[in-house]
Structure 1
Amino acid sequence: MIKNDEMDRLLRYLANQSSYEEMRNVQLWLEKDPKNRSQFEELKKIWLLTPDNLNWNTDSEWANFKNKIEAQQEISNESAPQSAAEKSINSSYIPEYRPSLLESLSFYFRRYSFALTIVLIALIAGYAGYNYFNSPVGNSSDSIIWNEKITLAGEKAEILLPDNSKVILNSESKLRYPNSFSGNSRDIYLTGEAYFEVRNSNDRKFNVHSAGFSTTVLGTKFNVSAFHDEEIISVSLLEGKVKITPENENSNDTKNARSSTILSPNQQWVYNYNNKRSEINSFNHEKAIGWKDNIIVFENTPLIDVFKKLERIYGVEFRSEGNFKNKNITTKFNGDSIWLVAEVIKKTTGLNYKTITKNNLPGTFIFY
């Protein structure tokens, strides 16, 4: 059963309203126990089944959704099958069918979807009427419909935004963007890594919100890397000019960052969440942005970091049997197969490897 504090954290994560620190805590919780990931996947399916996939912007909506889940969990626990001893006493015992949490809530939403729809229409109409008479003319931010694109390990995605700006989303990343841009800015939200080619718009800035920072541009080409399980966030600029600003200067994650940083072409801004310090340097274009063209560059990179990146790109697991913290790799891959990658690591490090297959495909590479 998911605890209250964990439920709050997971719901904020699903709603893309978590801080960077909360996202890291969720990732650690998922990796701690396979049961945690199983519970999260079921909760995610329930979240996607909510009527109209609503945004939960008030405390009452959060509490309402959470209470429904907790109630279903209690019902499931109360309806647990009899023990082995009870079964032996009751010879006519027939195992009781116990619907899963997902099945129960799916039934709930199907059964009451019409009533919920009527209530929601009334609420939305009232809220829209209030805004019409109490908001400035032309303010249509409340009518924005948001899209969300999530990539899994081993896959990338190319997205064309409403202003015809292009985004290439790296593996294990998430991009949230509106159906159309309105107002004086173009705002999107990123977790993970993406490459951007932004269409110039003299009157509307383009803002990428990621891991507690916003990167603001007018028209340019740049890369943002902000994975929730890494201590480093970076912005690499190819063309144009960008400004990087902490979104909350009082946050523990960004408290030592400058109020704003402006980059020129061929500069890379790097912020370390451990020591809370940032720096600006020139950078290797292939190392920072080559991933979008299937180019992977390692320069004296620790083996543990090499494995993490390869897992994300190829969608397979890499493990080591032994302590290889002092093993570093310098090499380059250009669209190579996973088998060639494993052989290069073997020759570069002097290690051997074995594989565990899954559905006749390599699922895990173990180096020893």
Structure 2
Amino acid sequence: MTNKDKTYELIVKRLTNEISEEENALLDEQFAQKKFSKSKFEKLSVYWRMFFPKPVKHSIIEKTEKKLGFTYQAGAKTNSWNWLKIAASILLIVSVGYSLYTFVKPNDQLVLNEYCCENGEQKEIVLSDGTSIWLNSESRIIASEPFLGNTREVILYGEAYFEVAHNPEKPFIVKTSNLQTKVLGTKFNITSSGPHIPQEISLYEGSVELTADNASHNKVIMHPGETAIFSPDNGEIAVTRKDLGKPAQWRDGILHFDNEDLFSITRKLERKYNTKIFVTDPAVGRLRYTAEFQHESVDSIMRILCEAKEFHYENASGGIIIKAKN
């Protein structure tokens, strides 16, 4: 086993909560010696918690290996054997069902790319297949390029607008927490901010197939002009028709709400204005609004919202607190 492989093994053990104190100290030492970037590990941890919010037993890696058809002969100690173990673990971490062929074919120059936006930043990226993606503030995309096999798969954390290059032979799949969005070539927007927060998918062109928890019985086909809300609490997908306006208006600094509840609105305000907003009363959070803002400050928006439907808000050191009006 090479030193690099050993580092990967320690990372997998820490992520799966199966690392000993000695191994834990060794990994920290490798971070200190810059044998592996601590910041990269922290980003990796974010994605791990996103897809596996609860501790995962090491046996899940073995199950992944069997599913991929990895076979080992008793007593094998070659670097190839160890590399397959590491490949299976990394596959599990990034959660993008690539085949064994993808990992081991030497001439493919496969690269795992991470595209990210910091607070207040927006960015357009173009993937190797020609798909254009606009990332919103505090959002990330992971893509293994070039796309090999029968699908084009990426992972999203945050919000992004996609204009997918049409390829009927190779569907484009966006993986978010407990949800898979599958398209051939279309324009749509996804908001996915964590495993416990509802996800929103708005479709502007083409069609989209949503599958919750990888269960074929919980599958929904979307059509243009529809918005789907995926609830992580019950795994249900609710689809409604609404005025979507111009595709991904947030790219132009516009906040567009069409019969949207205050819980959803505050999440969008948090991203745009880089602040925290706490809704202390569930009844207030369910208040619905139809509105559009562009140049207003967050304080101006809060004043307008609380005048339209009665609630109270106050600015605090940690952000904005929204309460029911006494």
Using structure 1 for the length normalisation, give the TM-score.
Answer: 0.56
Q: Work out whether residues 155 and 313 of structure 1, in 8 Å CA contact, stay in contact via their aligned partners in 2.
A: no
- Structure 2 unmatched ranges of 5 or more: 37-77, 88-99
Question: Is 1:172 equivalent to 2:97 in the alignment?
Answer: no
For residue 219 of structure 2, what is the amino acid of its counterpart? S
Rate the CA distance shift 1:222–1:55 in 2: closer, same or farther, 3 A. Answer: farther
In the other structure, the counterpart of 1:278 is 237
Q: Work out whether residues 192 and 198 of structure 2, in 8 Å CA contact, stay in contact via their aligned partners in 1.
A: yes
Question: Is 1:326 equivalent to 2:317 in the alignment?
Answer: no
1:271-325 deviations in Å (ceiling 9; x for gaps): 32334332332222149833333221335555454333311221023357x7584
Measured after TM superposition, the shift of residue 189 of structure 1 is 1.1
Question: Is 1:239 equivalent to 2:197 in the alignment?
Answer: no
Over aligned residues, Cα RMSD in angstroms? 4.3
In the other structure, the counterpart of 1:344 is 304
Q: Between Structure 1 and Structure 2, whose CA radius of gyration is higher?
A: 1
SS class of match (1:66): coil
Taking the TM superposition and a 5 Å limit, the aligned residue runs for 1:56-135 are 66-67=19-20, 71-72=24-25, 104-109=29-34, 123=79, 127=83
Measured after TM superposition, the shift of residue 342 of structure 1 is 4.3
In the other structure, the counterpart of 1:31 is none
Measured after TM superposition, the shift of residue 352 of structure 1 is 7.2
For residue 172 of structure 1, what is the amino acid of its counterpart? E
Taking the TM superposition and a 5 Å limit, the aligned residue runs for 1:244-255 are 244-249=210-215
Of all paired residues, the percent bearing the same amino acid is 25
Task: Supply the distance in 1 between the matched residues of 2:261 and 2:218 (Cα, whole angstroms).
Answer: 32
Aligned residues: 260
The answer to which of 281-290 and 196-205 deviates more is 281-290
Q: Work out whether residues 171 and 313 of structure 1, in 8 Å CA contact, stay in contact via their aligned partners in 2.
A: yes
- Structure 1 unmatched ranges of 5 or more: 1-49, 74-100, 112-121, 132-137, 250-256, 358-362
In the other structure, the counterpart of 1:317 is 276
For residue 269 of structure 2, what is the amino acid of its counterpart? L
Measured after TM superposition, the shift of residue 186 of structure 1 is 0.9
Task: Supply the distance in 1 between the matched residues of 2:281 and 2:210 (Cα, whole angstroms).
Answer: 38
SS class of match (2:181): strand
Measured after TM superposition, the shift of residue 62 of structure 1 is 6.1
Taking the TM superposition and a 5 Å limit, the aligned residue runs for 1:1-368 are 66-67=19-20, 71-72=24-25, 104-109=29-34, 123=79, 127=83, 139-142=101-104, 144-228=110-194, 230-249=196-215, 258-286=217-245, 289-299=248-258, 301-319=260-278, 325-326=283-284, 328=287, 330=289, 331-345=291-305, 347-348=307-308, 355=315, 364-365=319-320
For residue 274 of structure 1, what is the amino acid of its counterpart? D
For residue 150 of structure 1, what is the amino acid of its counterpart? C
In the other structure, the counterpart of 1:18 is none
Task: Supply the distance in 2 between the matched residues of 1:57 and 1:215 (Cα, whole angstroms).
Answer: 32
Task: Supply the distance in 2 between the matched residues of 1:266 and 1:162 (Cα, whole angstroms).
Answer: 28
Larger helix share, 1 or 2: 1
Measured after TM superposition, the shift of residue 209 of structure 1 is 1.4
1:2-29 deviations in Å (ceiling 9; x for gaps): xxxxxxxxxxxxxxxxxxxxxxxxxxxx
Q: Work out whether residues 10 and 23 of structure 2, in 8 Å CA contact, stay in contact via their aligned partners in 1.
A: no
Task: Supply the distance in 2 between the matched residues of 1:305 and 1:57 (Cα, whole angstroms).
Answer: 39
